[in-house]
Structure 1
Amino acid sequence: MKTAAVVAGLAAAANAHATWQYLWRNGEDLGSTCVRKVPSNSPVEDYTGTALQCNVNPADAEGNCEFAAGDTVTIEMHQHDTRSSTEEAIGGAHWGPVLAYMASVEDAAAATGAEDFFKVYQNTWAKAPGSTQGDNDFWGTKDMNYNGGKLDFKVPADLAPGDYLLRAEAIALHAASASGGAQHYVACYQLTVTGSGSLKPTDTVTFPSAYNKTGPGLGFSIHAPLDSYPAPGPALIESGTESTPQLLTFGTIESAPAASAAPSTATKPASSAASATPVASSAPASSAPASSSAAAQTSAAAQTSAAASATATAVAEPAPSSSAAAPSATASSPAAEQKYTIAEFIAFLEEADAADSSATSRKARRHARAFRV
């Protein structure tokens, strides 16, 4: 393979975008019935208009999805209008937090997204052992990718019954800096909540005023070392769900190198809020998900299939290593897979090209950053 072809493939991956498309209730696939689908998978970067509410020109939902207070709701994201388990939910190293808000409304179908929202879920950031820059750390979007585009949380058990808008959001920070550049991937779902709760949260915000492009959790560089991360927006309500990013702690990717944070016996789901997480699957939308253990195994098989068709594969690593042999030029030998930057991978291929004619081999320099191609 020539370097130019690799560069083209990496450039395409770096531009990968995504949309929220499906919803699950207690492991039951509800499809796209209650989501206001958006016409483009491009991010929202405007902090002055209404796009941060429910995205740009969302379509009307078919209806509402009914949840009882305390039920598990699972949001599902994909790059394209497909539920493929062989493609990252959001590609291009778009690392950042995943958040969910709810707004009490009179009629979910008539709500505009300008209503008062309260935060019910956040899966943001955790320091990876030995990490020297933020994009090597654990993030909500990494958990989402590893779990086939799905993350789950609880509808607050004490929430008052009625109609609600559920606003799901993934924030990509790969292009963020002190002057802005965060990318918001947003969609709204229409829910009807049942139960006997009485909670009507008062710690609410409206969009776009809830965010500032240079504000906490948004206006900074993910490529610098991080010791903490302030989640954007208001505080999580008391009965909300907080999940700590835990990439590779609830299963291992088959054929991937062993990682210290990925014991093969672990079965913890992507979200600590529930004991069962929908499985990443290419099965019809009507099929029900399996347990978190099955989710890890199915996602593993999908990752392996993708690796087998790629020329070279890099995996996210929780901690850098001081040295490594040059990566294999193919993915047919899992044990040879290593972690390296785009520049290092290109350099390695150039060295491989040179080796064809000169029979001279050189080692590829290793760096802490890791990408999945």
Structure 2
Amino acid sequence: MFTKSAIILAAANLAAAHTTFQSFVIDGKDQGQHFAVQTPSNGNNPIFDVSSTAMICNGGKATSDQVEVAAGSSIGMQWHHNDPATTSGDNDEPIAASHKGPVMVYIAKAESNGEGPVWQKIWEEGYDGTTWGVDTFISNKGLINIDLPNLEPGDYLIRPEMIGLHEASGEGKAQFYNGCGQIKVTGSGTLSLPAEGTDMTKAYSAQDPGVLYNMYAGEKTYTIPGPAVWTGASSGGEPSTPTTTAAPVSSAAPTKTATPSAPAASDPVASPVESAAPSAAPSSPASDNGSALPETFTIEQFITWLKATTGSSASKARRHARAFHF
């Protein structure tokens, strides 16, 4: 049986099991606590009001620092339960295991101060039916590591975020944790952020399926709230225009047959001549006396055959042959 004091203590521990974004990790090296990271105004406490301005950068103020990172390269964002971090003996480092939910990362131009519809979601991890984004976050000891899009050089705000859903079955009970860091993107990237993005004070509703959610109901599906991941982040650029497939071209185009030239007098004739013969000429190459032209013949053979079948003299036979235009 639980005592009242034990319940109060457990509730206090649960309420204190929070987390904050504290440093960048570049090429495996921690850049230092709060270097180029805006310190939140409310400590490690969560945000419950999704329309609050704290949803922009958790009340953090801009610093004079920046972390340089090349477009398309890896960037790490380190979180801890307490600020400053006291990892030794802290069972809730980097966050209590009960605070399951999704993890997301947004980016905006620094000149916007994060205000208005300027944010693009560039990465997210939700629930695959077994593991939550926060589970992976805990396994990675509070490090969120992503690849930047191939952005054009410039100054940006990067905003990691997670949602604790352990009490989210009640409206307005989901716990939001976010923070902003300041980066200078270098290199030869060419991607520009879209002109229209997401306003973080309007990104979520308290009634969104991914915000009002009972994680104890045994559901195996989960809808990550907010906008979809920007296509420029997932593909390295805007989607290319689909290539129209051309109609197949035959590898052997038909060749136009040239009109055959008249054969020379000595050339064999390939087939019987189809021109109309003089009335004395027979309609068939075979004569009544059984003589016949071969399948192919020369002009001289044709004259001999014509002479034999018509009884003509050689001179007449030649005249008849000329009538066939040989």
TM-score in terms of structure 1 length: 0.56
Q: Is the 8 A contact 2:117 2:197 kept in 1?
A: no
1:35 matched to 2:40: no
Give the partner amino acid of 1:90.
I
1:125 is paired with a residue of what secondary structure? coil
Give the partner amino acid of 2:108.
A
Tell me the number of residue pairs that the alignment of Structure 1 and Structure 2 aligns: 227
Which residue does the alignment assign to 1:218? Answer: 211
Residues 1-54 of structure 1 deviation map (CA, whole Å, 9 limit, x = unaligned): x97776555333311112111111121211221110113211111123311111
Structure 1 residue 168: deviation in Å?
1.1
1:177 and 1:89 map into 2 onto residues whose CA distance is: 24
Pairing partner for 2:122 from 120, 123, 135 = 120
1:167 matched to 2:167: no
Pairing partner for 2:96 from 91, 112, 137 = 91
Give the partner amino acid of 2:50.
Y
Q: Is the 8 A contact 2:49 2:172 kept in 1?
A: no
1:113–1:19 Cα change, 3 Å: farther
Structure 1 residue 151: deviation in Å?
1.7
Which residue does the alignment assign to 1:199? Answer: 191
TM-score in terms of structure 2 length: 0.64
1:220 and 1:66 map into 2 onto residues whose CA distance is: 38
1:180–1:241 Cα change, 3 Å: farther
Shifted more, 227-236 versus 10-19: the winner is 10-19
Ranked by relative contact order (alpha carbons within 8 Å, sequence separation 6 or more), the top structure is 1
1:17 and 1:180 map into 2 onto residues whose CA distance is: 17
Give the partner amino acid of 1:168.
P
Pairing partner for 2:107 from 102, 125, 128 = 102
1:72 matched to 2:74: yes
1:12 is paired with a residue of what secondary structure? helix
1:91–1:113 Cα change, 3 Å: farther
Residues 190-231 of structure 1 deviation map (CA, whole Å, 9 limit, x = unaligned): 111112222123262111111111113112211112231111
Q: Is the 8 A contact 1:75 1:168 kept in 2?
A: yes
1:234 and 1:201 map into 2 onto residues whose CA distance is: 15
Which residue does the alignment assign to 2:19? Answer: 18
Which residue does the alignment assign to 1:294? Answer: none
1:6–1:240 Cα change, 3 Å: farther
Give the superposed CA RMSD: 2.4
1:53 matched to 2:59: no
2:71 and 2:63 map into 1 onto residues whose CA distance is: 22
Question: Unaligned regions of 5+ residues in structure 2, if any?
Answer: 236-326
1:125–1:72 Cα change, 3 Å: same
Q: Is the 8 A contact 1:17 1:90 kept in 2?
A: yes
1:169 is paired with a residue of what secondary structure? strand
Give the partner amino acid of 1:225.
G
Structure 1 residue 59: deviation in Å?
3.4
1:141 is paired with a residue of what secondary structure? helix
1:84–1:126 Cα change, 3 Å: farther
1:136-155 pair list within 5 angstroms: 138-155=131-148
1:60 and 1:204 map into 2 onto residues whose CA distance is: 21
1:22 and 1:145 map into 2 onto residues whose CA distance is: 16
Structure 1 residue 233: deviation in Å?
1.1
Identity of matched residues, %: 33
1:51–1:171 Cα change, 3 Å: same
Q: Is the 8 A contact 2:105 2:122 kept in 1?
A: yes
Q: Is the 8 A contact 1:54 1:113 kept in 2?
A: no
2:103 and 2:200 map into 1 onto residues whose CA distance is: 16
Q: Is the 8 A contact 2:70 2:187 kept in 1?
A: yes
Residues 230-259 of structure 1 deviation map (CA, whole Å, 9 limit, x = unaligned): 1111111235369xxxxxxxxxxxxxxxxx
2:140 and 2:86 map into 1 onto residues whose CA distance is: 12
Residues 335-371 of structure 1 deviation map (CA, whole Å, 9 limit, x = unaligned): xxxxxxxxxxxxxxxxxxxxxxxxxxxxxxxxxxxxx
Question: Unaligned regions of 5+ residues in structure 1, if any?
Answer: 129-137, 243-373
1:205 and 1:21 map into 2 onto residues whose CA distance is: 24
1:94 and 1:25 map into 2 onto residues whose CA distance is: 27
